[in-house]
Amino acid sequence: MKRAGSKAHIFIGDFDLSKVISDAGVTVADTWYRIMEKGENSALPFGKGFPFRAPTNDTDQIALVSGDSIVPIDIERYCKTTASLSTEQGSIDAGDDCDPGATILDGIIVSSGSFAGLFRYNDVTGDFDDVTEKIINRFYTILMDDGEGTYKLMPRSDEPIFMLVNLNSDAKVGQMEIWAYFPINITSMGNNFGNTDVQNKDISWTKGEGEPVFYKRIKVA
C-alpha cells in the first residue's frame, strides 16, 4: 500500500507553562502532552522531553505521582500545499592503511524541512486563524486595537513550537496511526501577495531542542 502526500496532515503545537499538570493531576482523554519531569514509580510511559498521547477512554487516564510534571500540547491543523523533510547523519573519516577510506557515523542527526500554505482567515471575524497567527508571531510583534480605545501588544515569540504530522490520516479504527513529532525552530517565512496569486506563506524549519520521534498508536475511535 502507498499513500499520497495529501494523506499526511500537519499540526502545529505549542504549550502554555501555566497549564502544567503535576503531582496528583490526571491526564485528559486523547490530549497530547510533553513530559517535563518524571517522578519515582511514575506511570508516565516515556522519559523527560518525550511526547505522549493520553488514552482515548476517560476510565484509562494516567494519574500523576509526586515528581511528575507534564504540559498539554495545544495543536492546530496547518493546511499545507507542499511539505518536505530532510534528515541526515554525518560521518567521520576512520580510514587507516589496514582499511583505507573507512568511515564511521558521528551519531549527530540533523533534521530540517519546509512546508507551505495559504493565509487563512476566520469567516466570521475576518481575523487570522490561530495557526497563521502563531507562525506570524514567530517573526513579528502583533498589535491589536478594538477601535474603542483598548489596545493589546503580543510580543514576538521564540517559545518552543512543535510539528506533528499524521502520515496516514485515512487510518481506520483498529489500524495503526503513525505520527512524526518534531520540536522545531521556524527559521524563515516567505510571503507572496501578487494580484493574481493566493496570499501564501513558505516556511523553513530546523530541529529544535528535544528528540524527534515517530509515534505509532492503534486508532480506537
Mean pLDDT by 10 residues, the chain (221 residues): 93 93 93 96 96 95 96 95 96 95 95 95 93 94 96 95 96 96 96 93 95 95 76
Task: Record the cell numbers describing residue 117, joined without a space.
Answer: 500554505
pLDDT at 20: 95
Task: Record the cell numbers describing residue 141, joined without a space.
Answer: 510583534
Q: Give the dihedral of Cα atoms 169, 171, 175, 179; nearest 10 deg.
A: -10
Domain hosting 22: range is 5-218
pLDDT at 72: 96
- The per-residue pLDDT for range 166-211, each reduced to its tens digit, is 999 999 999 999 999 999 999 999 999 999 999 999 999 999 999 9
Task: Record the cell numbers describing residue 16, joined without a space.
Answer: 502554555
Strands 69-72, 103-118: pairing kind:
unpaired
> pTM above the 0.85 mark?
yes
Identity of the amino acid at 15 = F
pLDDT at 47: 95
Q: By three-state DSSP, how is residue 5 classified?
A: helix
Q: How many independent structural domains does the chain possess?
A: 1
Cα 81 → chain centroid: 17
pLDDT at 9: 97
pLDDT at 94: 96
pLDDT at 11: 97
pLDDT at 121: 93
pLDDT at 76: 94
Task: Give CA–CA dist 69/34, Å, rounded.
Answer: 9
